Amino acid sequence: METAANNNDNGGGGGVRKSSHPLPWLNLMVTEPFYLFHFLTFFSYVAVRSSASQNLPPDFSRHLLHREAQAFLTFSVLAAIKMVKQETWEAFIADALLYAKGLLCAVALIVDKHLALCYLLGFLVIFILTQQPPYDGLGDASHLTPLQLESKLTEGNTSKFWLVEFRSVCSACIRTSRIFPDLSTVYSNRNLSFGIVDLGHFPNAAEKFGIALNDPLPIYILFENNAEVARLPYINSESKASMPIIRKNLLCQHFELDRRLIEHISRK
């Protein structure tokens, strides 16, 4: 999994990334409502548990402590597995929070069914009012509007190839939001440029690039001199049911990024 040290990338062609913070995760927890509300909700169990422990019978208190230990160990194992399997922190955090919410509600149900209901409603409110923020680094990619992209594809003095990620503010795009900037840092060169178009801001432009409004995002398209040469995923009526999991190695293989980088280096 990527380390948090990669958060200090400079945005290629799209400005500089937000100024770094000495404690980035603490800064996110304080400034992002999604993380702040989750932290306060989980921390509230400590206050509830402390106040209730004085009124619980000794046998029930020991039983509850045993269940809490089981929940903590279960969460630790699941989190460790996800940390190994997931490529991005955003995907790991999303899965870890899901497991933590389920286990907290299960433990709260042992204490009192009304407490469990309160947590369920609380998490529902958080889901409605907030959204997990995507990775905001750009690497060597550029944030583009559809008009800027069309202009760069038609200009003769820009890169021959453009690999473009079409995304929006959706769960899948947030989970994979770190992958494309990381790839751009490694593979961007004078012959291959990386761009990001947010279709959430420009939904009417999707049709220009052969993307339907109900197509699952993100979608990656490789252009050569204003002509599309490859796309991932290629969506049709049969493939919508089984979308591939977006990973770095999948993008590298599908768009032959290693070969293109080697060809660029060999021409120097």
Displacement of CA 236 from its chain's centroid (Å): 25
The whole-model pTM stands at 0.81
Using CA atoms, how far residue 29 sits from 12, 48, 164, in Å, is: 27, 22, 31
Along the 268 residues of the chain, how does pLDDT read in single tens digits?
544 334 444 434 443 344 455 566 777 777 899 999 999 999 999 999 988 888 889 899 999 999 999 999 999 999 999 999 999 999 999 999 999 999 999 999 999 999 999 999 999 999 999 999 999 888 999 999 999 999 888 876 667 899 999 999 888 999 999 999 999 999 999 899 999 999 999 988 888 898 987 888 999 999 998 899 999 987 665 555 457 889 999 999 999 999 999 988 888 6
Residue ending a domain, choose from 95, 129, 163: 129
Structural domain contains residue 7: no
Structural domain contains residue 96: yes
Structural domain contains residue 9: no
- In which domain, by residue range, is 151 found? 142-267
- Please indicate, yes or no, whether residues 121 and 147 belong to a single structural domain of this protein: no
